[in-house]
Amino acid sequence: MVVEKHTVLVDPARLAAVERVRRVLPALPMPLEGIARLAARLLDAPMGLITTLDADTEYFAGSFGAPASLVEGGRASIAYSVCKYMVSADAPVHSVDMLADDDVRVRTHPLATEYGVRAFLGVPLRDSEDRPVGSLGVMDLRPRAWSEGDFGALVEVAGLLDQAPATAPISAPGGLADLDTAAALDAIAEAFLTLDADATVTGWNAAATELLGYSADEACGQPVAELLDAEYAGLPARELVTQLLSGELPAPLAGPVLLRARDGRRVHAHARLTVIHSRAGASVCVFLTDVTAQVSAAEAATVAAVAAEGEADNHRSFAEALLESLTEGVVAVDAEGRPAVYNRALRILHGLPMDISAEEAHRATLPRLHRPDGTPLGTAGLALTRALEGDTLRDVETLFREPGRPDRYALASCQPIRDRHGQLIGAVTTVQEVTERRRAEQFRECALAVAKLLLQPGSLAERGPELVRTVGHTLHWPYVSLQLLEPGPDTLREVAHWHADGYALHDLIPERFPVAASGVLATACATRAPTWVADLGDPWWITDSASRQRAQRYAELGLRGVLCAPIVDGPELLGLLVCFTDFEVDDPFLPIGLLTDIAGQVGQFLIRRRADDLAAQLSRSRADFTALVGHDMRTPLTTIAAYTQLLLDDPTPRPGTDRQLLEGIDRNAATLRALVDGLLDLCALESGQHALDTRTVDLTALVGDACAAAATAADDAGVGLHRQVDDDVCVLGDPDRLHELVDKLLTDAVGAAPPGEDVHLRLAQDAHAAQLTITRPGQPPTDAEFQPFSQANRSGTGDTSPGMNLVLARVIAERHGGTLGVDGTDGSTTLTVRLPSSRSG
């Protein structure tokens, strides 16, 4: 059961602890993304999250596999949080199936309804003063029962995050609390400021006020990106701070930065950034040296774009050195669109010589530029063209495509260049490659898409074509094949394949393939490990004339490499996922990881299908067995009962012991017959063979009749029967079956209560359901007592069908779309039946 305690979430001491931990976590020595990934891998879950939580916002400190739309920006509304349940309970919380959870808050949770999350498990994260500040959790797109081992593993991983220290309350200016005094900082000639983990200004000296125009009171508490329109080396301020605090970028760091002062003027500065750790957490310290006099944006762009004659040599040299030292690519054109600058970083990005002109480099690049959908960009679509029309563009995604190489992605930002009189004299574009980040996002989305696909009903043969198409489109590889091991002889059979136009390989990859054959596929089968061949012309696998002919055919089609990922269940081989590539793969680590993950998902799907098929077969066998035994037992039982009754009715005097024996036979035969009838009835209900006569049922009257019928038995047993029934409680259902349900629960409760004790019945109705609760003394029934074939389910109440009351009651409730729950507290047991109200629809 989940709890959400507002008093805990808004506790001032806890909120202060959250603020401190948010600054400390990014500075811890271990990578938070890696810890989230470790948790997900250990628990075989597609998603892992490390989050902190204040009163209304969840902050993502580390994530793995989560949808980009959820975690982008590093935060989400508390409505999307399950962390609030761990923080409120200050204990592990889980859900086996969110969409089937008893709690409506879980069933309607946005993670389930919008992102397809079905199950989650989380443990709270605490600071060193034991206050719950967040959680480490994993989520799955399929229902699953979390084991004790899963709980233990997650707690162990959470122990890696127990380094967040408790500190004194945060005091302004926050990041400066453990540095020198404000007076000492004001004595520094350079502008100085500090930033917290959110890239918010927490410290500001007098030199910063002189340079940028804001007072300390005005600057502190403002996001630096909004205050100064600041970014560094193409990185947004928040991302830069996160990478510095996590160690992804080395500190100290130095380089040029462009800022906006309070009066709107642009300020060029040389920035030095370092990280400090204090009791108040980790902060980034920034020293700014004003270099506006040496170079301004207009001067640098003008010198770079048009190499204006007469400009001072030192200014031109400074601008050229600045452009060549940048890690981002830069291209600039004059007012007529003629390329004037094509810096070193951009030449390296496109693999161009350093000694050709900017115009030649620009001309060589144009055919490679495409829109994200793959269509050629052309001159008209260039960001530079828009900039020459006066537009400023940020982070325009561009695709680099050239034969024989994988696609690469970049973000381009451009702006016009104007002289001091406002006249347009050119345009400049900066280019930042984001290929690895984009591929990682694509691979994550592909893995999630495959996971959702495998959760749909149907066999792998039905889901296979869409699966291989998804993989092929994500990797941009021209041929993907899914092969499964056939029963009997070790032979692989292709169940699905996808290929791009012109890459049909039916003549090269047979529909059936012996596992013991030679070649790449056989190697993957033998080793049970991913097998990557970067060059299909490599002689190691060309061992005979057949493989030589295949290699020649691959070369004719332009295929370069192949990757085989085995699908396994432990040591058992289940199949192969095979992908061919038509370009040179520089680093196969990501595609190997993706295909290994997908092969693992397919393996789990096959294992689940095996288990489901076995369970269905066992269920059918059990039903057939029950029906067979039931029908075969009825005839002899009827005969025994008839003969026994004839003997009992015979007026011939008999010894008392004979009559007692006959009465015992008659009584037990009747009990056995009732048990057989109950088993057959149960099978018919569970299989759906018994149709319900559904109508509107006055549950108030029905429960009243059942209580009246049970009153005699209660009086005879010395048990008090008390009822509290609301008026006009109606449900849709079969009146006979519902009467049977109430009778059986009352019979069980009265029979289980010792003499002198009481049984309480309560019937009420809310907007969605009618609820019947029966409370009696004694321990609650075990789970086994709800199983029809368990020895533990015998109630011992003296009912004509001992042990079947609870089982039949549960099945009747479920056939009506309801539930039967049990709870035991303080020596008493409460059985709760919830049935959909006839008014809820």
Per-residue pLDDT tens over the stretch 510-552: 777 777 666 777 788 888 888 888 888 776 667 777 778 878 8
Burial per residue of 644-669, b for 16 or more beta-carbon CB atoms within 10 angstroms, e otherwise: beebeeeeeeeeeeeeeebeebbeeb
Quick count: other Cβ atoms within 10 Å of Cβ 224? 25
Q: What is the pLDDT of residue 170?
A: 34
Q: Which residues pair with 140 in a beta bridge?
A: 119
Instruction: Report how far apart the first and last C-alpha atoms of the chain are (Å, whole number).
Output: 26
Residue 833 has pLDDT above 80, yes or no: yes
Average pLDDT, integer, range 747-764: 91
Q: Give the strand order in the sheet containing 819-825.
A: 720-725, 758-765, 769-777, 828-836, 819-825
Higher confidence at residue 553 or residue 404?
Answer: 553
Q: What is the pLDDT of residue 780?
A: 76
The string of DSSP codes covering 561-603 is EEEEEEEEETTEEEEEEEEEESS--S-THHHHHHHHHHHHHHH
Q: What is the pLDDT of residue 627?
A: 65
Q: Could you tell me how many helices (H) and strands (E) the chain has, helices first?
A: 27, 32
Average pLDDT, integer, range 42-52: 92
Token pair of 629 as six digits: 């035994």
Q: Residues 6 or more apart from 123 whose CB is under 8 A from it?
A: 86, 92, 135, 136, 137, 151, 154, 155, 158
Task: Select the highest-mean-pLDDT range: 142-146, 227-231, 836-840.
Answer: 142-146
Name the band, by pLDDT with cuts 50, 70 and 90, for residue 305: very low
Q: What is the pLDDT of residue 136?
A: 94
Q: How far apart are CA 450 and CA 468, in angstroms?
A: 9
Pairing of strands 253-260, 266-278: antiparallel
Q: How far apart are CA 193 and CA 636, in angstroms?
A: 94
Name the band, by pLDDT with cuts 50, 70 and 90, for residue 770: very high
Arithmetic mean of pLDDT over the chain: 81
% pLDDT > 70, the chain:
83
Task: Select the highest-mean-pLDDT range: 182-191, 244-253, 797-806.
Answer: 244-253
% pLDDT > 90, the chain:
20
DSSP 3-state of 27: helix
Residue 392 has pLDDT above 60, yes or no: yes
Q: What is the pLDDT of residue 319?
A: 61
Name the band, by pLDDT with cuts 50, 70 and 90, for residue 168: very low
Per-residue pLDDT tens over the stretch 471-502: 888 878 889 999 898 876 678 888 899 988 88
Per-residue pLDDT tens over the stretch 643-676: 788 888 888 777 778 878 888 888 888 777 777 7
Per-residue pLDDT tens over the stretch 312-334: 455 555 566 666 767 788 888 88
Token pair of 58 as six digits: 């969840």
Q: What is the pLDDT of residue 631?
A: 65
Q: What is the pLDDT of residue 482?
A: 92
Q: How far apart are CA 359 and CA 365, in angstroms?
A: 10
Name the phi and psi angles at 264, rounded to 5: 95, -10
Name the band, by pLDDT with cuts 50, 70 and 90, for residue 50: very high
Q: What is the pLDDT of residue 480?
A: 92
Name the band, by pLDDT with cuts 50, 70 and 90, for residue 625: low
Average pLDDT, integer, range 354-374: 87
Name the phi and psi angles at 509, rounded to 5: -115, 105
Tell whether omega for the bond before 173 is within 30 degrees of 0, i.e. cis: yes
Domains along the sequence of the chain with CATH: 6-161 (3.30.450.40), 174-290 (3.30.450.20), 297-433 (3.30.450.20), 439-609 (3.30.450.40), 618-687 (1.10.287), 695-836 (3.30.565.10)
Higher confidence at residue 169 or residue 70?
Answer: 70
Q: How far apart are CA 281 and CA 178, in angstroms?
A: 10
Q: What is the pLDDT of residue 800?
A: 39
Residue 251 has pLDDT above 90, yes or no: no
Per-residue pLDDT tens over the stretch 670-727: 777 777 777 767 666 666 666 788 899 999 999 999 999 999 999 999 999 999 999 9
Q: What is the pLDDT of residue 4?
A: 87
Distance set, CA 410 to CA 231, 318, 436, 438, 743 (Å): 17, 27, 10, 9, 71
Q: What is the pLDDT of residue 665?
A: 86
Per-residue pLDDT tens over the stretch 576-585: 999 998 887 7
Q: What is the pLDDT of residue 169?
A: 35
DSSP 3-state of 291: coil
Name the band, by pLDDT with cuts 50, 70 and 90, for residue 246: confident
Per-residue pLDDT tens over the stretch 606-620: 888 887 777 777 767
User: Half-sphere exposure (CA, 13 Å, Cβ side) for 62?
Assistant: 27
Q: How far apart are CA 694 and CA 765, in angstroms?
A: 19
Q: How far apart are CA 313 and CA 32, in angstroms?
A: 48
Average pLDDT, integer, range 722-737: 91
Q: What is the pLDDT of residue 304?
A: 45
Higher confidence at residue 23 or residue 171?
Answer: 23
Pairing of strands 253-260, 730-733: unpaired
Average pLDDT, integer, range 192-218: 89
Q: What is the pLDDT of residue 801?
A: 44
Q: What is the pLDDT of residue 308?
A: 41
Eight-state DSSP code of residue 791: G
Name the band, by pLDDT with cuts 50, 70 and 90, for residue 310: very low
The string of DSSP codes covering 75-117 is EEEGGG-SHHHHHHHTS-EEES-GGG-SSHHHHT-HHHHHH--
Name the phi and psi angles at 363, rounded to 5: -65, -35
Predicted TM-score of the model (pTM) = 0.41
